[in-house]
Amino acid sequence: MNRGVLLIAQNNEEIDYVKLAVSSASRIKQFLNVPVALITNSQDQNLNNIFDRVIVLETNSPYTKFFYDGDSEGKRLSWHNISRIDVYDLTPFEETLVIDVDYVINSSILSNCWSQQLDFLIYKDSVNLGHWKNNKEFLKVSDYSIDFYWATVFFFRKTKLNQIFFELLKDIRTNWNYYTLLYQIHSTNFRNDLAFSIAIHMINGFTQGTFAGKLPGKMFFTNDRDILIDLTENTMHFLLESTTAKGGFISVKSKNTDIHVMNKYSLSRIMINE
C-alpha cells in the first residue's frame, strides 16, 4: 500500500480507544478515502474486517495521567502513549498520515498532505475552540524553551532523513529524564508532543529550520474540561468551560472542521454510539 492513515489504540482501565479507532476509521474513509491501518494491543480478530491492516503490539507503559470529564474531579488512569514514535518501523505505507483517535475528522482538508513537497508535516500553531482560554502551554515546550509541536497529527514519507528523525525520537524516549532537564520540562511523564518538539529542534540543527512543514488547514482543539454533546455528519456541538463562571459552560458549534477532542469520556459517549 502506497499511502494511508495509521491509528494507534490501546485501551486503559476505562476508555475504549479501540472502539474510538473503529469510529475514527469510518470517518477517515468517508472524508479522506484512503486505507486505514491500526496499531493495537487488542487481540480482537473482528478488527481485521474493519481495518486494511492490523498490527498487534504489546506495550506496557509506566505512565499514568488524570483524565477529566468536564468539571469532574478526574481519574488517574494508565496512559499508553509510547508507541507513537515507533510508527516509522511499523507503518505498512510509504506515505503515512498518523492521526490520534480523538482527532475527529469532519472534512477532507488533510487529503492535501499527499501533494505537499516536504516529507514531514505537522501542526505547530493551534486554535482553541474556546478562544478566551489561556493556551500558553501549547506555545513553548517550557517558559524559555523551544517551539511546541503537536504529535496529534503528522505526515511522513519513508526517507533517510525521516528514519534518522524517528531514531532520534527513540533516543529521547530512552533518555527522557535527561531531556526534561535540558529543555526545562517539569513533567516526568513522557509526552509525544514534547519529544517531537525536541527532535524537530535537534534535526534543524538547534535553530529555526525547515525540516517540519505545516499540515494543511488549522489545528483546532478543545480541552478535557469541555464536553462534546453532539456529533452529526460534519457538525460538532460542545459545551466549553467558562473561565468567568465556576461550573459554567458556553455552547459552541463547529462545522466542516477537524477537531482534537481532549475529553475522551465525552468523545466516547458520542462517537462510539454514532
Task: Note the pLDDT tens digit of each residue in 56-86.
Answer: 988 777 788 889 998 877 888 888 888 899 9
pLDDT, position 242: 86
Helices (H), the chain: 17-31, 87-90, 160-174, 176-182, 192-203, 264-271
Q: Is the pTM value of this prediction over 0.75?
A: yes
pLDDT, position 253: 96
230 lies in some domain: no
16 lies in some domain: yes
Is pLDDT of 245 > 70?
no
Structural domain total, the chain:
1
Banded pLDDT at 246 (limits 50, 70, 90): low
Rounded Cα distance between 206 and 259, Å, is 31
265 lies in some domain: no
Angle between helices 192-203 and 160-174 (to 10 degrees): 130
- Residue for cell digits 514531514? 120
264 lies in some domain: no
Q: Which domain holds residue 145?
A: 3-217
pLDDT, position 144: 79
CATH number of the domain where residue 138 is located: 3.90.550
Mean pLDDT calculated for residue range 190-202: 96
Is pLDDT of 2 > 70?
yes
Is pLDDT of 1 > 80?
no
